Amino acid sequence: MTGILDKFSVEHGTYGAKVVARSSYLTGNCIQESDVDTAIEMLKDDLDACAKEMKRLMKLNNGPIFEGWGTQD
């Protein structure tokens, strides 16, 4: 299972969840310090979204298989 979040993708499978960079260039060409700050802030936001997605997928994976059953622990 894969979900795409801007420049990153979240992959979830048998061995757990991971974040993969989709691009070799994570920022554009930065000319001013404000360009750097904006680009890095956007990457941080994307990584935060990846973390939320990974946690959501892990909860689904560890949850009960059928309603009313216990967890898979």
19 close to 9: Cβ distance less than 8 angstroms? yes
Question: H or E stretch including 3?
Answer: strand 2-5
The predicted model gives 51-65 an average pLDDT of 79
Segment 34-51 mean pLDDT = 91
pTM of the entire structure? 0.69
Count of C-beta atoms within a 10 Å radius of residue 50: 21
Contact 60, 13 (CB under 8 A): no
* For the chain, percent of residues with pLDDT exceeding 90: 21
Asked whether the predicted pLDDT for residue 1 surpasses 50, the reply is no
